[in-house]
Amino acid sequence: MKSVNIFTRALSTVAAIQVADAAWATTTAKRDDTATAGCGLQHVAATINVTQAHSLMSSNRNRTYSLHLPAGYNASAPHPVVIGFHGSGTFGGLFEADTKLSEDRYSAGKIMVYPDGVRGNWAGANYSNVSLAVDLQFVHDLLVELRDQYCIDNSRIYATGLSNGAGFVNGIACNSVGDEFAAFAPHSGAYYDATDQPCTPARSPLPILSFHGGNDTTVPYDGGEGEGGTLPSIRDWLTEWAKRDNCTSNSEQTVDSFDGDVHHSSWTCDGRQALQHYRIDDLGHCWASTEPNLSQLGAAQGPTHIDASGIIMEFFDNFTKPMQLDGINSTNSTGSDSSPAPTSAPANPLFLGSVSVMAIIVSLWIYGQPL
C-alpha cells in the first residue's frame, strides 16, 4: 500500500508539474504575442481593399475615420497599421487621395487608417477646435477600436501626416500615447505646439523621418509666425529631437542625381539612423511626389524629385516598437498575409469609391486654405 501511495503521489506531482508548465507556456505565449483581440474576426470580401468610413465616441464626441484593409487581408495574421493625419480644413479621404498611400505599391499588407479632425483641424494650432488632450484621447480610443476589430501587430503601428496633421503627429510623439507607435513621419509639419508645449517622449530613441520644402511659404523652413501661431525653424526642431533621441552624430548628403535640390540628413541614435530628414529646395507646401497630386494643385507646382510615400513606408518597415515582456525587450512582429474567405461585415459601413472621393477632393483643395 505504501508503494502505491508513493506511486500515486508521484503521478499527482507529475500531473501538477505538467499543468503548471502548460499554464506557464500559455502565459508566456500571451506575453510574447504582439497580435490583438481582433485577430480571428472575419470581414466580408466587400470590405477588403476598399476604403470605408467609420465612427466612434471619444470625449463625448462622435469622431470619424476612414479605413482601408489591404488586398489579401488575413484575419489570422497580425498586420502593421499606418495612421495618416490630414492637413487643416480637409479630411482623411483627401489625405488618402493626395498621398496615394492606400495603393498596393506603398502599403501592401498594411492596414491604412485616416482619421478626421474636428471641423477639419487637429490640435496644436490656435485655430484648432479642441484641446490637445481631446485629440490625444481620440488617438487612444481609435487604437482601442482598431485592436478590437482587426488583426493588428502591436509592435508595428505608425503615424504620418501633412502640415497641421504633421504637427499633431509631433504632438503624439511628445506625449505618452506616442509609446503605442513604432515610428513617425511628419511632412511639411506645422509644429506650433513645439514652441510652447513640453515634449516628453515615452521612450528614446523614437524613430522620426521628416520632410520639408525649402520653398514652403505657409510653414517656412526658417520658422516665424504662421496661420496658427509661432513656428520653430525646422533646423531647431530637428536639433531638439536629436537631443531627445540621444543621437550621437549626424551627417548630411546632397542627392547628386537631383541636381543638388534634395538634401538628406540622418542622425545616429542608439546605433541606428532613427532620426532622418529630407529638405527639398524647390518644394512648396505640398506632399513630395514624383507624380502629380492634389496638394501640388494648391501649391501651384508640379511633381518634385522624390516620392515621400515610398520613402516613408520603407522607413517604417525598418522599425518595430520594443515590446516589454517582464522587463525584457522584444521586437516580435508580423506574420503571413495570405487570406481566408471573410464572412462578416463591420456595422453600417459607408463605402468611399475613389471616383466619388476625387469629385469632392479637387473642389476642396483648390480654394487654397492654409494647411
Would residue 325 count as lying in a domain? Answer: no
Would residue 5 count as lying in a domain? Answer: no
> What are the residues facing 56 on neighbouring strands?
63
In this structure, the chain runs to a length of 371
**pLDDT value of residue 365:** 43
Averaged pLDDT for residues 198-226: 96
C-alpha torsion sign, points 57, 83, 322, 210: negative
CB 239 within 8 A of CB 269: no
Structural domain of 196: 45-318
Query: With bands split at pLDDT 50, 70 and 90, how would you rate the model's confidence at 75?
Result: very high
pLDDT in tens, 231-283: 999 999 999 999 999 999 888 887 766 677 999 999 999 999 999 999 999 99
Nearest Cα neighbor of 34 from 139, 156, 150, 140 is 156
Block residue for cell numbers 552624430: 249
Would residue 331 count as lying in a domain? Answer: no
What is the CB neighbour count within 10 angstroms for residue 20? 10
**pLDDT value of residue 251:** 86
**What is the distance between the alpha carbons of residues 213 and 263, in angstroms, rounded to a whole number?**
10
Nearest Cα neighbor of 115 from 80, 149, 139 is 139
**pLDDT value of residue 35:** 82
**pLDDT value of residue 254:** 76
Would residue 174 count as lying in a domain? Answer: yes
**What is the distance between the alpha carbons of residues 185 and 250, in angstroms, rounded to a whole number?**
18
**What is the distance between the alpha carbons of residues 13 and 18, in angstroms, rounded to a whole number?**
9
> What are the residues facing 65 on neighbouring strands?
54, 115
The percentage of the chain sitting over the pLDDT mark of 70, rounded to a whole number, equals 77
Query: With bands split at pLDDT 50, 70 and 90, how would you rate the model's confidence at 223?
Result: very high
Query: With bands split at pLDDT 50, 70 and 90, how would you rate the model's confidence at 192?
Result: very high
pTM of the model: 0.81
Three-state DSSP class for 157?
A: strand
**pLDDT value of residue 253:** 80
Is a pLDDT exceeding 90 seen at residue 113?
Answer: yes
Would residue 35 count as lying in a domain? Answer: no
CB 242 within 8 A of CB 267: yes
Is a pLDDT exceeding 50 seen at residue 158?
Answer: yes
Would residue 338 count as lying in a domain? Answer: no
Q: What angle do CA 13, 14, 19 make, to 5 degrees?
A: 95
Block residue for cell numbers 511632412: 187
**What is the distance between the alpha carbons of residues 274 and 172, in angstroms, rounded to a whole number?**
17
Q: Which three cell numbers stand for residue 354?
A: 475613389
Report which DSSP code applies to 340: P
Would residue 15 count as lying in a domain? Answer: no
SS (H, E, C) 52-91: EEEEEEECCEEEEEEEEECCCCCCCCCEEEEEEECCCCCC
> What are the residues facing 23 on neighbouring strands?
none
Query: At 14, which helix (H) or strand (E)?
Result: helix 2-32
pLDDT in tens, 126-150: 999 999 999 999 999 999 999 999 9
Mean pLDDT of the chain: 83
Is a pLDDT exceeding 80 seen at residue 18?
Answer: no
User: What total of structural domains would you count in the chain?
Assistant: 1
Q: Which three cell numbers stand for residue 51?
A: 476604403
Would residue 27 count as lying in a domain? Answer: no
Determine the residue type at 349: P
Q: Which residue has the higher pLDDT, 207 or 33?
A: 207
Block residue for cell numbers 518634385: 304
Query: What is the DSSP track for 208-277?
Result: EEEEEETT-SSS-TT-EEETTEEE--HHHHHHHHHHHTTEEEEEEEE-GGGTT-EEEEEEEETTEEEEEE
pLDDT in tens, 326-362: 333 333 333 333 332 322 333 333 334 443 344 344 4
**pLDDT value of residue 196:** 73
CATH number, position 54: 3.40.50.1820
Is a pLDDT exceeding 50 seen at residue 68?
Answer: yes
pLDDT in tens, 300-309: 899 999 999 9
Is a pLDDT exceeding 70 seen at residue 118?
Answer: yes
Q: Residue 137: phi, psi to the nearest 5?
A: -65, -40
> What are the residues facing 185 on neighbouring strands?
160
**pLDDT value of residue 366:** 38
